[in-house]
Amino acid sequence: MTKVCVLLASYNGARWIEHQIDTILKQKNVKIDLFISDDCSTDETLEIIKKISKKNKSVFFWKNKKKSTSATQNFFSLITNINFKKYDYVSISDQDDLWNINKLQRAIKMIHKKKVDCYSSDVSILYQNGQIKYLKKSYNQKKMDFLFEGGGPGSTFVLKTKFAINLQKNLKSKKNIAKKINFHDWYIYFFARVNNYTWFIDFFSGLKYRQHHNNQLGANVSLGTILKRITYILSGDFLNQIKYFFILNSKMSKKYFFLFSSNKLKTLKFITKNFSHFRRKKLEKFICLFVLIFFVIIRKRLI
C-alpha cells in the first residue's frame, strides 16, 4: 500500500485538532504516518495529541524546546528532521482543517496521471458561522506566478519523496536564511518552480479550509484579505522574502536580478514587461502591477 508521511505543525489548536487528525487517519487506500510538532502550546493541544498517539501507533509527536518564530518555522523543523526515504509521498496538514476521506487518494492519482512532482488543489472555505464557499486556485499556471504566491494553501500539498528530500537538503544548506522565511507554502512552490520541478493544481476540493482570526493571511476572497496582502507587499518584507528565496537558490538568481536592481528604471521595466506572468486572475495582475510600481517608486534603499 502507498505510504504517505503527513506533517502537522500544531499550536493552541485544541478546538480543532482532534477532529482534523481523525480525518487524516481515515484516508482511503493509503498507509499514513502522522508527525506532529507542537510549538509550545499553552492550551490542551499537547494532551489531546498524547491521548491520540497512545491509541494509534502511526501518530508521532514532539514538543519544541522553545517556541518557533512562526508556523512556517515549525513546518520547516518537521521537514528537516524526518527521514522521508521509506515513504512514497509527503503531505502537509494544518491543525484546523477537515480532510475529505479521499483527499490523498485523489492527489496520488493525479500525480500519476499528470506525471508531476508536486500537487495542490482548490479548497472549500469554512467560515466560523458554518458557511462554506468554494475557493478556486486551479487557474492556469504562469511563467512567474511563483514570485507572488504559492500553489494554493499548503494543506493541499502532496509531494513526491524525491522532491521532499531535495527540499530538505535545500533548507539545511543555509539554515540561517531558512529561518528568515515566513511562508512555507509559498517557498515550497517557489523552490519547485524555480528548479524546474513539475506542479499540478487540481480543480478538486479535498478539504474544508477553516478561516479564523489566527490565519496568517487567510483565503484571498474578501476585500479585507486583499487589502491585507497589498499592505504586506507595501511593507517591504515581500521583496525581502523573495531575496531570501533566491539566496537559498543562488544559481537561479541571475535570471531575476532586475527585481533587486539599484536602478529603479530597470526594475520598473522588468515589472511592466512581465506582470502578465505573475498572477492567474486578470484583476490581480493589475493590482500587483500597481502595487509593485508604487513600491519601487517609494523604495528608499535596496533590500
Residue 153 is part of a domain; what is its CATH number? 3.90.550.10
C-alpha cell at 35: 508527525
275 pLDDT band (50/70/90 cuts)? confident
Tens-place pLDDT, residues 217-241: 444 555 666 677 677 666 668 778 9
Q: Are residues 36 and 181 in the same domain?
A: yes
Which residues sit opposite 201 in a β-bridge? 120
Q: Are residues 100 and 200 in the same domain?
A: yes
Q: Are residues 150 and 242 in the same domain?
A: no
Q: Are residues 132 and 252 in the same domain?
A: no
Domain end marker among 184, 200, 219? 219
Whole-prediction pTM: 0.90
- Report how far residue 97's alpha carbon sits from residue 21's, in angstroms, rounded to the nearest whole number: 9
Q: Are residues 95 and 62 in the same domain?
A: yes
Tens-place pLDDT, residues 81-139: 999 999 999 999 999 999 999 999 999 999 999 999 999 999 999 998 889 999 999 98
Q: Are residues 229 and 273 in the same domain?
A: yes
The yes-or-no verdict on residue 33 having pLDDT over 80 is yes
Can you spell out the DSSP letters for 233-255? HHHSHHHHHHHHHHHHTGGGGGG
Q: Is residue 94 part of a domain?
A: yes
Q: Are residues 124 and 196 in the same domain?
A: yes
Kindly report which listed range (155-159, 239-243, 288-292) carries the lowest average pLDDT score: 288-292
Q: Is residue 303 part of a domain?
A: no
Domain end marker among 219, 254, 278? 219
Q: Is residue 260 part of a domain?
A: yes
Q: Are residues 141 and 287 in the same domain?
A: no
C-alpha cell at 55: 491509541
Q: Are residues 116 and 147 in the same domain?
A: yes
Inter-residue contact 118 to 197 (CB < 8 Å):
yes
Domain residues for the domain of 207 are 3-219
Can you spell out the DSSP letters for 129-165? TS-EEEE---SPP-TTGGGT--SS-GGG-EEEHHHHH
Q: Is residue 267 part of a domain?
A: yes
Q: Are residues 112 and 83 in the same domain?
A: yes
Q: Are residues 184 and 240 in the same domain?
A: no
Domain end marker among 199, 219, 239? 219
Conformation bin of residue 297: beta by default, left when phi > 0, alpha when psi is -120 to 50: alpha
Inter-residue contact 149 to 183 (CB < 8 Å):
no
Q: Is residue 173 part of a domain?
A: yes
Counted domains in the chain: 2
Q: Is residue 117 part of a domain?
A: yes
Q: Are residues 194 and 249 in the same domain?
A: no
Cβ-Cβ contacts under 8 Å for 302 (sequence gap 6 or more)? 260, 262
- Report how far residue 26's alpha carbon sits from residue 50's, in angstroms, rounded to the nearest whole number: 18
Can you spell out the DSSP letters for 20-65? HHHHHHT-TT-EEEEEEEE---SSSHHHHHHHHHHH-TTEEEEE-S
Inter-residue contact 105 to 30 (CB < 8 Å):
yes
